[in-house]
Structure 1
């Protein structure tokens, strides 16, 4: 099996192609990376900036350079000794522009007689395929016919053979599909989609033929040695994730395979999945959590309550999930409820909805995960005792036949409810302390203790040593450095609360949760361009669905939110006050950034570096995190470091690149040093501020945590790290060191130590 020592994620798009990726391959090798990790490379919707909207899985995306450019990139990576990890999307395909998806076009044209009819998860028993694309139902009068296509403005649809005569409306009535008002989609859709996105239609990869057609090209690349690893997007949306991974492993026995599986705290990865681990959100939660001060919780709860922000996390989460079941995924819930026999339809709908709302994890995989299913049923019964009979019937039906359509659809849809209700709604409503509001996170848990971190790291080394670890991805709510600076706020809750009160009095946002989120975001990304902050707050407001949303707009509120960044920054006194506060937390934020990065790069697992984050990167949620990366500047800094420069910790971010480079090179050149895990505990008055461990007898890692409290307590004083006997050298500085922490950390707040002549 080809397990990389590390990966570097790049976001391919028409502006950054296979050729552009080849252009940075040498830099990645020099940085110390083991494999290039690419976003989806199969043909995607026109103009796609991310590639997850695949339209043709049988060819490399022409907009990236096509097959020839892909081959050239693969050949170069092999020459440089780098692997290639590719992100693939088995759950869905884009149908936004039907004509560019030849399978979907054929289904629309021929209906159930199409050779691709079984490729998509369509409920044909409910009649013609419903397509929610019209402004409203009356807009059917605006249809025209052009040749063999039915046209609605920029939307074009095929006309079935022999049905082309008569008015456009008469032609429309003869098709295998019906164009309906877009607002009807959530409640009446007749095909399964990706979350609430009607332009992404679910694909039935549980069918061996569909699997072969959708995976054949990528598996050819794997067989040829061009692709060494696969990242699997959203497996929880599949009917049978375990079966999918077993089939994938059979076809790619030597590939490194990681699953984008979101694990809740304490939830194990299904043991039947033949994968190397997750894509690392569990590691992110643990690494980021150990840099958060639990003592800050009361102050933030008090501030949130004072401002009118909801602080009952589970109540907020339940309300958000219910919003999803009752208003967004209505069609999916009804389709599942219809499969429950001998139960009143409305009772069945409510029972299905309440069960998914109560899921303690994303989904179960019965018969695996039976305890999670039981917890969901128990939670639903507690919330809705009036549904006891319907829930009992649902529980019995699912347990007795876990492979039934009822059990399958309910489990795969529960993941949609949890993701949409928790990550995409709750995390923008429950803004008490936003550094915790991350994919895979649990915002009601304020920080993680050192001993728990050690236990979880040791478990990863024992169970999934080849799992990916990460701090930033294309899906994270904020980048690692933004989160690291935000974590400092937990050490100064009183100061921050006073500041927020002052600032809100001058220019608050008239929605409490967004107001608190905005101030946390501003100080964590300062200085940020007003346009970037404006776009972020617009997305946050619409995802929260409190005062406005993507479909139902409060124009006046949106205008006020849009004006907020410039109003704050153009107010000289207010901006100066914000900047002064940022200066207070900036240094500790840098320390947190370096600490969490060194931990991620050296702890158990395969570390991924998201594009550009080898320097400071204060990005926010997508699309902000897909901005172009300045590789010229990074090459120049790397060259200076290679020549021996030890950069200062300043706004340039060069110190972070030093840490990334030194750690990655050590992993790649001496992989045997990174086998095993043992806690290393500091001793002395400031011991709680040091996180340290060994990965082998000759490698130790030590980082600073809670730096504000460390300084307030008088520094390291006589605190020591009891290193095993021998001569130890700090790889970052090149100097011999002892376990005296005041000396060890006098240049950088982190240390990467090797013993002997390594």
Structure 2
């Protein structure tokens, strides 16, 4: 197997392609990285900054440097003895620019007679394929003919052979597709999409011929030894995730294989999946949670209620998911309901929607996960008892044919409802404490107790020692360092609440949930430019869908939100007050950042470092987290660290790079140290502030938690950390510490320690 000791995530884009990535391989090797982990590398929509909008899976993306550039990158990676992990997107392809996707273009041109008609998940029971690209249906009058193409401003569509005579509207009426307004498309769309993005059409990868065509190139890279690992995007959208993964494993038997599966707390991966694990959101939630003080929950709840925002998480989530089933994924719900036999159409629609709203996890994988399905049905039945006959029919027909179309489409869509309703709506409406609002997280669970953390970590070490772990990804709502500073707010809850009241009275936003989120964001990401903050708040307001949205705009409100960052930052007295508060928690944020990073890097699993986060990085949700990384400064700091410098904990972030470098290098050079998991317990008055565990019998991780509370209580005082007998050395400071180090001494330089016991 090709399990890396660690990975380093790089976001490729036209400005940072294969050659630019090749240029940092030497730096990654020096940093201690085990494998370069790259975003999608196949051809994508022209100008795409992320690559998840694949248009041609049969070739390396020309805008990144094409096959020649890819080969150069592969050679550099091999010369550095690194692994190479590639992100793949099996669920969908981009159709935003139809001509860029030759398969989709052929389907539009030839309809059901296209050689690719079955490559996409299209409902061919309708006469024509609906394309929701017009401002409204009446815009058909604005179509023109340009040679053998039908044009709608910059959009181009093929004209079927022999159908090009007459007016543009007459030509349009003869095509295999129908151009319609986006609102009608939302109701009647007859191809499966990625969430609510009509520019991403779902691919029928469960068909062997489609799998072969979409995966042939990447699997060629794997078989040639050029790619050692695969990261699978969005498996929940597939008709048969388990079947797909078994086919993928057969094509890449020795590759390290992880899936972007979002696990809710307590949920496990289906045991039939032949994968090494997830992409690490489960670990993220656990590691972040143990640095939050749960006693602050009532304080933040009171502030939320006082400000006029909702405090009942379950209610907010249910409302958000219902918005998705009733207004956003209308076409998908109707398509599923039409498959439910013997039930009134409206009752069928309501039953299908209620069950998806009621899911406690993203989806079930019938017949595996039958308990998940049963729990969702029972929860829905309790909410809508008048629909009992419809629920009975739905339950019976789904269980009776778990691989049938009804069960398949319902399971595919439940993940969309949960993700869109929870991650992309609830997380922007329920803003009591934003540090908890993370992919795979549960914002109603305020922090994680240390014993629970140990139980979960030990379980990961035993059951999935080669799963990926992470703290930041291209999809996280905020970076690990932003989250770490926000965690510190839980230790000064009363002070923060007083500050929010003060700031809101001076320059509050009129929508309560956004107002709470805005102040937390300002503190968490400080210092931040007005442009970055404006872009974030615009996205947050539209995702929340309370006062405005991506489709139904409240222009006056959006203008107020857009003006807010400049108004706040230009208000000298207010800005100084915010800066003073940030200064109050900055040190604790740095302590949390170092603590959670060491726990992740040295803990069970294969740790991933997101690009640039080896220094402090206070990014927000995408695209903010895809900004260019300054590798020159990172090289310079690494060189100083390698020369023996022990940097201070300051704004440079050099101390974090020291931690990242020392742990990754140790994992690479001495992987035998990183096995097993055993909780350790400190003794003394401040024992609760010391989180520690042992890997094997010769490696110990020790970190500070809740540092502000520790300071208020008088510091470490008599606290000690008993270890196995022997000579222990802190890898970070190179100091011998004995086998019962006093916490005050152990943490006098850094709030974290990585201890190795050398054999006699």
- For 1:511 and 1:112, locate their aligned partners in 2 and report how far apart those are by CA, in whole Å: 49
> Could you give the per-residue CA deviations for residues 321-353 of structure 1, whole angstroms, max 9, x where no partner exists?
000000000000000000001110000000000
| Aligned pair partner of 1:751 in 745, 750, 753 | 753
- For 1:535 and 1:166, locate their aligned partners in 2 and report how far apart those are by CA, in whole Å: 46
- For 1:80 and 1:534, locate their aligned partners in 2 and report how far apart those are by CA, in whole Å: 41
- For 1:460 and 1:23, locate their aligned partners in 2 and report how far apart those are by CA, in whole Å: 35
Corresponding residue for residue 40 of structure 2: 40
- For 1:723 and 1:240, locate their aligned partners in 2 and report how far apart those are by CA, in whole Å: 48
- For 1:677 and 1:110, locate their aligned partners in 2 and report how far apart those are by CA, in whole Å: 59
Corresponding residue for residue 231 of structure 1: 231
Corresponding residue for residue 743 of structure 2: 741
SS in 1 for 2:166: coil
> Could you give the per-residue CA deviations for residues 107-146 of structure 1, whole angstroms, max 9, x where no partner exists?
0000000000000000010220000011111111111111
Gaps of at least 5 residues in structure 2 are none
Gaps of at least 5 residues in structure 1 are none
> Could you give the per-residue CA deviations for residues 278-317 of structure 1, whole angstroms, max 9, x where no partner exists?
0000000000000000011010001101001111000000
- For 1:239 and 1:540, locate their aligned partners in 2 and report how far apart those are by CA, in whole Å: 31
Q: Where do 1:555-574 residues align within 5 Å?
A: 555-574=555-574
Shift of 1:724: 0.8
- For 1:573 and 1:71, locate their aligned partners in 2 and report how far apart those are by CA, in whole Å: 55
- For 2:663 and 2:135, locate their aligned partners in 1 and report how far apart those are by CA, in whole Å: 55
- For 1:135 and 1:697, locate their aligned partners in 2 and report how far apart those are by CA, in whole Å: 65
- For 1:137 and 1:716, locate their aligned partners in 2 and report how far apart those are by CA, in whole Å: 69
- For 2:432 and 2:372, locate their aligned partners in 1 and report how far apart those are by CA, in whole Å: 28
Q: Where do 1:234-633 residues align within 5 Å?
A: 234-633=234-633
1:14 aligns with 2:18: no
> Could you give the per-residue CA deviations for residues 40-98 of structure 1, whole angstroms, max 9, x where no partner exists?
00000000000000000000000000001101111111111001100000000000000
1:166 aligns with 2:163: no
- For 2:511 and 2:688, locate their aligned partners in 1 and report how far apart those are by CA, in whole Å: 38
Corresponding residue for residue 132 of structure 1: 132
- For 2:681 and 2:175, locate their aligned partners in 1 and report how far apart those are by CA, in whole Å: 70
- For 2:413 and 2:323, locate their aligned partners in 1 and report how far apart those are by CA, in whole Å: 14
Corresponding residue for residue 213 of structure 1: 213
Corresponding residue for residue 50 of structure 2: 50
SS in 2 for 1:435: helix
Corresponding residue for residue 658 of structure 2: 658
SS in 1 for 2:125: helix
- For 1:537 and 1:167, locate their aligned partners in 2 and report how far apart those are by CA, in whole Å: 45
- For 2:388 and 2:65, locate their aligned partners in 1 and report how far apart those are by CA, in whole Å: 58
SS in 2 for 1:59: strand
Shift of 1:383: 0.7
> Could you give the per-residue CA deviations for residues 224-247 of structure 1, whole angstroms, max 9, x where no partner exists?
000000000000000000000000
- For 2:720 and 2:145, locate their aligned partners in 1 and report how far apart those are by CA, in whole Å: 80
Shift of 1:488: 0.4
- For 1:10 and 1:184, locate their aligned partners in 2 and report how far apart those are by CA, in whole Å: 39
Runs of 4+ in 1 over 3 A off after TM superposition: none
Corresponding residue for residue 155 of structure 1: 155
- For 1:266 and 1:252, locate their aligned partners in 2 and report how far apart those are by CA, in whole Å: 30
Shift of 1:407: 0.2
Corresponding residue for residue 673 of structure 2: 673
Corresponding residue for residue 86 of structure 2: 86
- For 2:127 and 2:16, locate their aligned partners in 1 and report how far apart those are by CA, in whole Å: 43
> Could you give the per-residue CA deviations for residues 460-483 of structure 1, whole angstroms, max 9, x where no partner exists?
011110000000000000000000
Corresponding residue for residue 646 of structure 1: 646
Corresponding residue for residue 713 of structure 2: 713
- For 1:697 and 1:358, locate their aligned partners in 2 and report how far apart those are by CA, in whole Å: 45
SS in 2 for 1:47: coil
> Could you give the per-residue CA deviations for residues 598-631 of structure 1, whole angstroms, max 9, x where no partner exists?
0000000000000000000000000000000000
TM-score when scaled to structure 1?
1.00
Q: How many residues align?
A: 758
SS in 2 for 1:201: strand
- For 1:201 and 1:286, locate their aligned partners in 2 and report how far apart those are by CA, in whole Å: 34
Aligned-CA RMSD value: 0.7
- For 1:105 and 1:71, locate their aligned partners in 2 and report how far apart those are by CA, in whole Å: 29
SS in 1 for 2:377: helix
- For 1:361 and 1:367, locate their aligned partners in 2 and report how far apart those are by CA, in whole Å: 16
Corresponding residue for residue 197 of structure 1: 197
- For 1:757 and 1:408, locate their aligned partners in 2 and report how far apart those are by CA, in whole Å: 56
- For 1:756 and 1:390, locate their aligned partners in 2 and report how far apart those are by CA, in whole Å: 66
Shift of 1:757: 5.9
> Could you give the per-residue CA deviations for residues 248-289 of structure 1, whole angstroms, max 9, x where no partner exists?
001100000000000000001000100000000000000000
SS in 2 for 1:125: coil
Shift of 1:734: 0.4
SS in 1 for 2:439: coil
- For 1:170 and 1:176, locate their aligned partners in 2 and report how far apart those are by CA, in whole Å: 13
